[in-house]
Structure 1
Amino acid sequence: MSELIAGNKRFVYGRPRYGHDVARAAATANGQKPHSLVLGCIDSRVPLEAIFDQTFGSICVARSGAHVLDRSLIGSINFAVAELGVSLVLVVGHKRCGAVHATVEALRAGATPGGDVGYVGYLVDELAPAVQAVGLEGEDTDERAVREHVSRTVDRLRDVPELAAEIAAGRIKVAGAVYDLDSGWVEFLP
């Protein structure tokens, strides 16, 4: 995790170590040894390699709307751990997440998980438990729901049998964080 914390500091202070240089990409073409897999949202304002100031080959990135897990993502994470030897799986949520906001609004409008809520229905179904856990009252519902969903995703990954075995053996950590769109800081959750 220290590599990601240091990279985020370089990013925030405007001193990134790595650029997106095609020569560096070519240098890693024959192999990779990433230290982490970062699972984040598809939001274009959250480029995970950039916010952690990581170069080609240093992290694997998996993304979905609001980092909602499915079989493909879990399989990809298992692959990164088993075959690429990553030692950290980091779940990164972010402030002002559109999928979380859509879920909050759908639930406030009376939609129920499993109901018809349009194109984002699967995401709403998957995010609803986090939103319901924090409640629909208050102006900070979205932010509280993001944090709750990150925590729930971390817990769910820790329960994946293959990952649980790696955690128990001390070979990997699974952790959560929230990215602040305004400041650029990543807050690592306890």
Structure 2
Amino acid sequence: MDNNKPLMNLSRRNAIKYGGGFLGTGLLAAALGSNLNSPEPVVAQSEVNSEQALAQLMAGNKRFVAGKSKYPNQNLTRLQQVALGQKPFAAVLSCADSRVPVEIIFDQGFGDIFVVRDAGNIATDEEIGSLEFGTLVLGAKVLLVIGHEACGAVVSTLKGAEVPGSISSIIEAIEPAVATYKGQQDNKQAVRQAVEANVRYQVKTLEKSPVLSKLIQEGKLKIVGAYYSLSTREITLVS
């Protein structure tokens, strides 16, 4: 161990967790990046700001809805390029539902989106840490939290369903967001409202991260909520 380089000896998780308190985001990013032990990517991240990154995602979804996907960055050349390193322009926290394939619904390709998925799109410590890494170190400019139509995790929470094993931890993470809609699992409109309420709750949870909040303050990141319709394939923003 080299005692002259204490930052390099921090675990990534602890460095990310506490970095907002004692390191500038630039220094912390450099410290974490030096631990990757990989060369710089051949294709650098596009020089876009948060608004442009969000517009790029929404334009891709518009193409997908219209049946005019361009399937960008999905060829062998791109795959070989990003094998050397990644610089995604966007990050996403999405439900793990198999009907919500993030790159497809946004018409993006290899290396474009840093994706974290779990049932109910909940922001647990592990998900937050991953997204801190995807934004601070990898440079994603927009972080989209996506809930979706008829989300099973949200519906189960509204039902107050008895669930086995660790599934209960998912229910517990969603309950504070949807208390107003408990017992309304058969009301389609109420379910949508509950899904959107959960999205807003998870966005607020992410905004409490010292790393993410610092990036927001510096104008380097925007966190946005969204809703995906399984029936229309359309992404709408949740405010």
Is the TM-score greater than 0.5? yes
Q: Are 1:167 and 2:216 matched, yes or no? A: yes
Pairwise CA distance, 1:104: 1.2
Pairwise CA distance, 1:24: 2.8
CA contact (8 A) 1:134 1:148 kept: no
Pairwise CA distance, 1:158: 0.9
For the residues of structure 2 that align with 1:21 and 1:41, how far apart are their CA atoms? 27
CA contact (8 A) 1:7 1:53 kept: yes
Secondary structure class of the residue paired with 1:118: coil
Tell me which of 166, 169, 182 is aligned to 1:122.
169
Unaligned runs of 5+ in 2: 1-53
Q: Are 1:52 and 2:80 matched, yes or no? A: no
Deviates more, 1:122-131 or 1:175-184: 122-131
Secondary structure class of the residue paired with 1:100: helix
> How many residues get paired?
182
The amino acid across from 1:171 in the alignment is: K
TM-superposition CA deviations, 1:138-171 (whole Å, max 9, x none)? 7133211100000001111111111111111111
The amino acid across from 2:237 in the alignment is: F
Q: Indicate the residue corresponding to 2:195 in structure 1.
A: 146
Tell me which of 140, 144, 159 is aligned to 1:86.
140
So what's the TM-score if we normalise by structure 1?
0.90
Pairwise CA distance, 1:26: 2.1
CA contact (8 A) 1:41 1:63 kept: yes
For the residues of structure 2 that align with 1:27 and 1:187, how far apart are their CA atoms? 32
TM-superposition CA deviations, 1:84-105 (whole Å, max 9, x none)? 1111111000011111111111
Tell me which of 35, 42, 52 is aligned to 2:89.
35
For the residues of structure 2 that align with 1:27 and 1:18, how far apart are their CA atoms? 17
Secondary structure class of the residue paired with 2:120: helix
Q: Indicate the residue corresponding to 1:114 in structure 2.
A: none
Q: Are 1:95 and 2:153 matched, yes or no? A: no
TM-superposition CA deviations, 1:76-122 (whole Å, max 9, x none)? 10111111111111100001111111111126xxx6xxxxx423211
TM-superposition CA deviations, 1:48-98 (whole Å, max 9, x none)? 000000111111100000111211111110111111111111100001111
Q: Indicate the residue corresponding to 1:4 in structure 2.
A: 57
Secondary structure class of the residue paired with 1:66: coil
Q: Cα RMSD over matched residues?
A: 1.6
CA contact (8 A) 1:135 1:141 kept: no
Q: Indicate the residue corresponding to 1:157 in structure 2.
A: 206
For the residues of structure 2 that align with 1:80 and 1:99, how far apart are their CA atoms? 25
Deviant stretches of 4+, over 4 Å: none
Q: Radius of gyration: which is bigger? A: 2
CA contact (8 A) 2:159 2:183 kept: no
Deviates more, 1:137-146 or 1:81-90: 137-146
Secondary structure class of the residue paired with 2:140: coil
So what's the TM-score if we normalise by structure 2?
0.72
For the residues of structure 2 that align with 1:10 and 1:63, how far apart are their CA atoms? 23
Unaligned runs of 5+ in 1: 112-116
The amino acid across from 1:127 in the alignment is: I
Tell me which of 17, 29, 35 is aligned to 2:70.
17
